[in-house]
A and B are shown apart, each in its own frame.
Chain A
């Protein structure tokens, strides 16, 4: 219990807790755990245009999930205020590698060199927030799922499409980490 209340959660506590959201949603209303569908639902609700992809009843298909998503935002807010912020205890090798790339602020959940309003006006901030966000939205819609829908729900259901998608997640993540980030961070 003290582990849950303070300090960082070990992987064998965090992982099973995340996995339990799959049966929790199935038992509640036969819903499949997956966050990225909400981006489509929001597009369908706010700006469907004349696009066939967004012409469906988002209330019937996704209201439950949008409510879940609102909860995620509130949950983040609660956790942020209920526990004192602490440094993310990453491995010393990661700290060294990132320091070489020009990251020096290790005090919060994300480096302030990249993730502040001020940094948005720099190339590295713009690429991290705006370009990165766009690729997340485009990629998850194209792949029909993200980490929750494919890597957790899909793999747990032994689906081949999800395995292909997860291999893609890693191919893209490694490419960005080793080829794009050094260029974007090191250039400034």
Chain B
């Protein structure tokens, strides 16, 4: 049982905005986009433990430049898509649902806990999986450990402040 305030946050990550099953042809597009993303993560070196250390030690502009220009590119794209009022290839009108702020504790506390893990593993969730493909096979253990972490959150969730 959860309090009404907590139960309005359903799932994690981007959240489930719709309830339609995706058609197989579109799944192929998502697979190809994922492959492209895995290549980009590897070739841009953002999945390197060394790059993450360099970032948290403020010894190179590189990671800040990458994240900053990614945000600017995404923001311009999102603004353009909203302005144009386009529909997606699968037919929905394009919109990003905003996360409710609530008390904001979950973002500060959860963000800090993730930050600790990001610096220790040198990887956020995407890189965690890309690194397995990249030949750092021990990252399979980190993936299962991350699944355990998510599961324990699901278990403790009714008792955590959000």
In the assembled complex, which residues on chain A have CB atoms less than 8 Å from the CB atom of B100?
161
For A167, the closest partner residue in chain B by CB is B111
Expressed in whole angstroms, the minimum distance between the Cβ of B93 and any Cβ of chain A is 7
Interface string of A105-128 (1 = CB under 8 A from B): 010111100111101100000011
In the assembled complex, which residues on chain B have CB atoms less than 8 Å from the CB atom of A36?
12-13, 124-125
Query: Cβ of A18 and Cβ of B66 under 8 Å apart?
Result: yes
In the assembled complex, which residues on chain A have CB atoms less than 8 Å from the CB atom of B90?
28-30
Quick check: is B16 within 8 A (CB to CB) of the other chain?
yes
Interface string of A56-69 (1 = CB under 8 A from B): 11011111110111
Compute the total of residue contacts between A and B using a CB distance below 8 Å: 573
Q: What is the interface residue range for chain B against chain A? A: 35 or more
User: How many positions in chain A have a CB within 8 Å of any CB in the partner chain?
Assistant: 137
Q: A143-B107, A168-B107, A173-B56 are in contact. Are A57 and B19 (CB under 8 A)?
A: yes
Query: Cβ of A141 and Cβ of B42 under 8 Å apart?
Result: no
Interface of B is mostly: helix
For B10, the closest partner residue in chain A by CB is A56
Q: Which of B107-162 contact A (CB under 8 A)?
A: 107-126, 128-139, 141-155, 157-158, 160
For B142, the closest partner residue in chain A by CB is A133
Query: Cβ of A71 and Cβ of B118 under 8 Å apart?
Result: no
Determine the distance from Cα of A109 to Cα of B141 in the docked complex, in whole angstroms.
17
Query: Cβ of A68 and Cβ of B33 under 8 Å apart?
Result: yes
Q: Which of A14-41 contact B (CB under 8 A)?
A: 14-41
Query: Cβ of A20 and Cβ of B73 under 8 Å apart?
Result: yes
Interface string of B66-110 (1 = CB under 8 A from A): 111111111101101100001011101111111111001011111
